[in-house]
Structures are given as C-alpha cells and as structure tokens.
C-alpha cells in the first residue's frame, strides 16, 4: 500500500488529482482543510501487491512507542496490535504513520466498490441503524453524477419509513425504486433487470445473533446473486464488532463499509471486525 497526499484550492480538485495520479482504486484515508492557507488536503492509499518487503530498522526492530500508544488509544485488540507492531518495527522509516501503514498493508486488504457495473449486484447488509440506506443513497448519487445507469432495490419492508427514506433519494435522482417483498420477487426482479447497470440492494437490518434473521437475509442474498457488503458504524466495541463481523461472514460478507466515521474517535472496532474474518475494506462514510 502507498500513501500520498494531494493539496489543492478545493476538496474536489484535490480528490481529482489523487485519482488522476493513483487511479480509481485509490482509497481516501483522510481529508483536511488548512483555513490559513485556503487549501484542502487529501491523503490516499492504493494497493501495491508487488511492493518490496520492508527493510529492517537500524535499531534492531525496537517497538515504535507512538504506534503502540495510538493502537492502545483506539482499543485495537492485543493480538492484532502485536501483529501490527511487529511489522511496523521492521520498517526503515522515521514517520510512524508510514510504519503503521506497513503493518496495515500486511494485515488488511482494500477493495473499493467499483464505479462500473460489476458482474453481481451489490447488497448492503448489517445490523439495524448501521447506515445501509444512506450508503445506498450515496452510491447511487455517485453513479448518477457520472451519468451511469443504476438500478435500486429495497427489501427493507418492515422498518417504519424504510422505503420512504430511500424513495426520497431516488425521486431526487430521477430513479425508480424497486421493492422486493420476498426472495422470490427479488429473484424475478434480478432476472428482468439483467446485468447491464449498477445494481444496489438495500436490505433490512439484521440481528447478527438471531439465526432466523440471518437465514432470511441469506435467502435474499442467494435469490439476488448479489455480493453482500457489510456496513458497520465506526466506534463500536472491538469484541462486539468482531463477533458481529463473524456472524455476517456466515452469509458471505467479504467486504466492509465503515459508516459514521465522523462520530467515532476510536477505530479499533472497525479494525477488529475486518481482521477477524479477513474482510476487505471497501469504502467509508461520514454518516
């Protein structure tokens, strides 16, 4: 993974420079505004599978204390923190952020949701209140702004206002919202829509510790042939998020979208959820 910062007079321009240089797979990891300079900065990461192995540090791999303190502050589980520190301690680099990045690169994978039509629909899954509906809204907004065809489906028929919330977004975007009340209806809808457009499916909130609810979710996933992308709010208890990630892994989740990043100060839970069952980080959201 490479980390690089881009600065411009607007956030949009900084993001454009980042993607122009590193490609569409660049993962935005931080943004900042310098009010005094009137500039915006975007820091991005991009996978580099063929990058050389980190060189040994001249201090014999002594534990980088700033990194240890940061991992402890964020509540990163001890076993995961030890692995990250072990790799960070072998990197010949003064900047602790880059040393920690080497640890992340050894432990995590980054696979953003494509802006092009994938082979499979994308279904956002997760516990109630995780941010699935707002995540779908942002994804379809991105598609519409790029003038791409997009199909939007909701299976969230039980939550009060669930359909209305997403319908408000689709109406603004001039997109029809399809409603699938059961797996059979969803399967028929997928057969009709085909694979010519980006397809996003909003699912009902699922209790990860309720086998019956997981079984219902699994039936919708199988009927749609969709890739289930797990949505979790940032800032949760690491042990709890590990168990939640493991539960949703049983229905096929392989990627993780972190929501409500603006309301979290400790991110150990997000790291724990991804690490436990090797979920790939896809995207992040501030709401």
Q: What is the pLDDT of residue 55?
A: 40
Q: What is the pLDDT of residue 231?
A: 97
**Mean pLDDT throughout 208-230?**
97
Distance CA 62, CA 138 (A): 43
DSSP 262: G
Q: Measured between alpha carbons, how far is residue 36 from residues 33, 46, 79, 94 in Å?
A: 9, 29, 42, 28
The model carries a pTM of 0.76
Give SS3 for 280.
Answer: strand
Closest among 49, 145, 26, 114 to 17, alpha carbons compared: 26
pLDDT at position 140 over 70: yes
Instruction: Show the tokens assigned to 237.
Output: 């208890």
Q: For residue 159, what pLDDT band results from cuts at 50, 70 and 90?
A: confident
Q: What is the pLDDT of residue 44?
A: 66
Closest among 180, 175, 179, 165 to 135, alpha carbons compared: 165
Distance CA 275, CA 37 (A): 38
Q: Measured between alpha carbons, how far is residue 224 from residues 160, 193, 198 in Å?
A: 24, 11, 14
pLDDT at position 233 over 50: yes
- Which residue has better confidence, 26 or 227? 227
DSSP 259: E
Helix or strand (DSSP H, E) at 282: strand 280-284
Q: What is the pLDDT of residue 128?
A: 94
Burial class (CB in 10 A: 0-12, 13-18, 19+), 192: exposed
Distance CA 28, CA 17 (A): 12
Q: For residue 30, what pLDDT band results from cuts at 50, 70 and 90?
A: low
- Which residue has better confidence, 75 or 21? 75
pLDDT at position 115 over 80: no
Instruction: Show the tokens assigned to 175.
Output: 């997109």
Q: What is the pLDDT of residue 100?
A: 93
What is the number of other CB atoms lying within 10 angstroms of the CB of residue 236? Answer: 23
The interaxial angle of helices 96-107 and 78-88, nearest 10 deg, is 120
Instruction: Show the tokens assigned to 248.
Output: 């949703």
DSSP 193: H
Span 38-97, pLDDT tens digits = 777 766 655 555 444 444 344 444 444 799 999 999 999 999 999 999 999 898 888 999
Query: What value, to the nearest 5°, has the Cα angle with vertex 53 and ends 47 and 59?
Result: 125
Percent over 90 (pLDDT), the chain = 59
pLDDT at position 238 over 50: yes
**Mean pLDDT throughout 251-272?**
94
**Mean pLDDT throughout 203-214?**
97
Q: What is the pLDDT of residue 26?
A: 60
Span 168-201, pLDDT tens digits = 989 999 999 999 999 999 999 998 876 667 899 9
Mean pLDDT score of the chain: 85
Q: What is the pLDDT of residue 127?
A: 96
């Amino acid at each position: 993974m490479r980390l690089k910062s881009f600065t411009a007079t607007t956030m949009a321009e900084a993001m454009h420079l980042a993607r122009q240089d590193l490609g569409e797979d660049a993962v935005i990891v931080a943004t900042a505004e310098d009010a005094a300079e009137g500039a915006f900065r975007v820091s991005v990461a991009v996978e580099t599978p063929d990058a050389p192995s980190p060189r040994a540090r001249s201090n014999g791999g002594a534990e980088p204390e700033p990194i240890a303190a940061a991992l402890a502050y964020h509540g990163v589980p001890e076993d995961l923190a030890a692995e990250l520190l072990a790799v960070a301690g072998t990197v010949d680099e003064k900047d602790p952020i880059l040393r920690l990045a080497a640890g992340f690169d050894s432990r995590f994978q980054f696979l953003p949701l494509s802006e092009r039509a994938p082979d499979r629909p994308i279904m956002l899954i997760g516990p109630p209140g995780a941010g699935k509906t707002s995540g779908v809204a942002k994804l379809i907004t991105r598609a519409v702004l790029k003038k791409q065809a997009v199909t939007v489906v909701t299976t969230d028929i039980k939550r009060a206002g669930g359909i209305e919330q997403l319908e408000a977004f689709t109406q603004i975007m001039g997109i029809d919202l399809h409603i699938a009340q059961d797996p059979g209806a969803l399967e028929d809808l997928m057969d009709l829509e085909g694979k010519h457009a980006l397809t996003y499916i909003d699912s009902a909130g699922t209790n990860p510790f309720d086998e019956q609810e997981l079984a219902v979710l699994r039936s919708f996933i199988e009927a749609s042939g969709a890739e289930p992308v797990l949505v979790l709010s940032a800032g949760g208890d690491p042990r709890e998020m590990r168990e939640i990630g493991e539960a949703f892994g049983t229905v096929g989740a392989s990627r993780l979208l972190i929501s409500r990043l603006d309301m979290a100060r400790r991110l150990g839970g997000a790291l724990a959820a991804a690490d436990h069952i090797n979920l790939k980080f896809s995207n992040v959201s501030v709401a």
